[in-house]
Amino acid sequence: MVTAPSESQRNRRPSMLDVAQAAGVSKAAVSKVIRNAYGVSPEMRRKVELAIETLGYRPSVAARSMRGASFTIGFEIPQLGNDFFTQVMQGAADELAGSGYQLIIAPAMGEVKGAPVLDALVDRQVDGFVAISPEVEPEWLERLGKTIPIVLLGRHDKSTNYDTVTNDDAAGARLVMDHLIELGHRDIAHLTIHAYPQAAENLVPHEIRRRVYAESMSRKGLDARVTYSGPLEPDAYQAAFRLLSEPNRPTAVFAANDTLAIGALRARTELGLTAEELSIVGYDNIDLAAHPIVSLTTVDQFGRESGAKAIRLLLDRIQGRTEARHEMITPELRVRASSRFATMQLF
């Protein structure tokens, strides 16, 4: 599979030694100039900078980070193409701009999720990382957190070795359910993604939303209907299509995130149904939700802000903080055209 790359007749990049020789000084001197360290004469600085310039020298991060920092921040996302994650990354990238740190994003590739990517990031000497990994085990993270600064997004565990930024998923889900019930809906289905094997312990956003859904339903004496699908829009479309094709289709769908809601919207449209016949509510408030052709009722969980907050916590930790911090963001309902009053039931 992996074959060693041929370094054949490639031009070698100039090293610090090359610069030192070109400037007629020592490596240590060059290093000091680069790091703005104490004790360099203007004359020395001039010479060295000239040599750097003419040789087009750039320090090797790999070599540097063997001693100190790499000034690289990792960001793991479970999936490419989820607009909410994109929002979070935008917030992170903006927050990091001009900080001197470089952001690198590592998508969990293929079937392998979570931990391997985080390892890969750590192996690459990032100074810390932000992750959206509901699937990794807390114990594993606790251990890793002793080694490197970590901020986890969307996890409700109260860790001691890493920070978390979460959204109050229970409150958000309640906003949705209250909204739908107020609109008179009684047959509300929940569309969510397959549960992770180890998600049992109440820590994962989708799991919390599902539970609140179930509780809200049973409290009103209504029957819960949960439909599971894959995480992508086409998956949700198919699942929703099947659900809505059933003879006793629900009058409302609470989709556990906006990507799923968009899939449900496609199914609704293709089946010739309107918001009057089927309300759809999502979760995330992706940018597209506010688009008038979509106009999706959803829960705003402030993705950009979360991303920015995560970066701030991480930089803090990199600066030396060791006690864990756990920030919770309060979500808000955005009512739009995709949810309507329940129409007359025929029974």
* Window 143-162: contact mask with a copy of itself (x via CB under 8 A): x--xxx--------------
SS3 248: coil
Q: Does 11 bind a copy of itself (CB under 8 A)?
A: yes
Half-sphere exposure of 123 (CA within 13 A, CB side): 7
Q: Does 39 bind a copy of itself (CB under 8 A)?
A: no
Minimum CB distance to a copy of itself smaller for 23 or for 96:
96
In the set 319, 323, 344, 347, which binds a copy of itself (CB under 8 A)? 319
**What is the C-alpha to C-alpha distance for residues 269 and 183, in angstroms, rounded to an integer?**
21
CB 74 within 8 A of CB 129: yes
Question: Considering all CA atoms of the chain, what is the largest pairwise distance in Å, rounded to the nearest integer?
Answer: 92
The DSSP call for residue 146 is: T
Query: Can you state the percent helix, strand and coil of the chain, rounding each to 5?
Result: 45, 15, 40
Rule CB under 7 A: which of 4-63 touch DNA?
4, 12-13, 15-17, 24-29, 31-32, 34-35, 37-41, 43-44, 57-60, 63
H-assigned helices in 137-257 = 138-145, 169-182, 205-219, 233-245
Rule CB under 8 A: which of 70-129 touch a copy of itself?
70-72, 80-81, 83, 86-87, 89-90, 93-94, 96-107, 109-110, 117, 119-120, 122-125, 127-128
Minimum CB distance to a copy of itself smaller for 208 or for 255:
255
Take residue 90 and report the two structure tokens written for it: 């935008």
Q: Does 202 bind DNA (CB under 7 A)?
A: no
Q: Count of residues binding DNA (CB under 7 A)?
A: 32
**What is the C-alpha to C-alpha distance for residues 175 and 22, in angstroms, rounded to an integer?**
67
Residue 26 binds which entry of DNA, a copy of itself, none, CB below 5-8 Å type-dependent: DNA
**Binding residues vs DNA (CB under 7 A):** 4, 12-13, 15-17, 24-29, 31-32, 34-35, 37-41, 43-44, 57-60, 63-64, 66-68
